[in-house]
Amino acid sequence: MNYELRSTKKKGIFRTSNFRLQNGFTLTEILVTLSVLGILIAITLSVFRTIQPDLQLSGATRELITDLRYVQQLTVTEQVEHSIRFYSTGKRYEIRKYGETTEILKTVSLPEEIEEMTISGLSDIDSGKEARYNPYGAVKESGSILLKNSENKTKTIKVEPSGFVKLGG
């Protein structure tokens, strides 16, 4: 048996078969891909919604600890008393500077997911409680701040007499 390989030459192009290359996707492939993506997005959103209150609680706690340490640093650096004033109505606090006049440096409102802010200890004032630092960085009265989210999870921040701020249990 003799086999012979022949090719036809037409305008410089060799043709070996009549197959066409298929470029693109079928409608079925696109629909399956979109369905899988939709399912993944739905799962991701539901997981995010369940962990959002915890994320908000952790974020608010970190911000409050940072603000307490910042107020302490400002007091020591400027040798002028500063404080964080917590208001009993509403979930908010202010950073204040006590020089010749009292100046509000910053006002912070806690996120909606934080349902309760309970302060024990610290200095009593007309409208709530206050962590007031002296020029040595110590607070006038120690205490703790408890934040509770909508899922009843809590974080406690402790302010020691020396002014040391730490996250409690």
Identify whether 73 is part of a domain: yes
| Average pLDDT, rounded, for the chain | 84
Residue 117 covered by a domain? yes
Res 8: pLDDT: 53
CATH number at residue 51: 3.55.40.10
Number of domains in the chain: 1
- The answer to whether 145 touches 87, Cβ cutoff 8 Å, is no
Report pLDDT for 125.
Answer: 80
Residue 66, pLDDT score = 92
pTM over 0.85: no
Residue 112 in any domain: the answer is: yes
Cα separation, 71 vs 132, in Å, equals 9
- The whole-number pLDDT of residue 151 equals 86
Do the domain assignments include residue 127?
Answer: yes
Is 6 domain-assigned? no
Distance CA 128, CA 43 (A): 43
Q: Please indicate, yes or no, if residue 33 is contained in any of the structural domains.
A: no
Which pLDDT tens digit goes with each residue over 59-101? 889 999 999 999 999 999 999 999 999 887 778 899 999 988 8
pLDDT at 10: 54
Residue 110 CB neighbour total at 10 angstroms = 22
E runs forming strands in the chain: 8-10, 13-15, 82-87, 92-98, 102-109, 114-121, 123-125, 128-133, 143-149, 154-159, 165-167
Expressed as residue numbers, the domain containing 160 is 47-167
Q: What is the pLDDT of residues 24-64, one digit of tens each?
A: 788 898 999 999 999 999 998 888 888 888 888 888 899 99
Q: What is the pLDDT of residue 5?
A: 57
pLDDT of residue 112: 84
For 9-25, what is the mean pLDDT? 60
As a whole number, mean pLDDT of residues 159-167 equals 89
Q: How does 48-85 read in b/e, with b if 16+ C-beta sit within 10 Å? A: eeeeebeebbbebbeebbebbeebbebbbeeeebbbbb
Q: Does any domain span residue 29?
A: no
Domain assignment of residue 16, yes or no: no
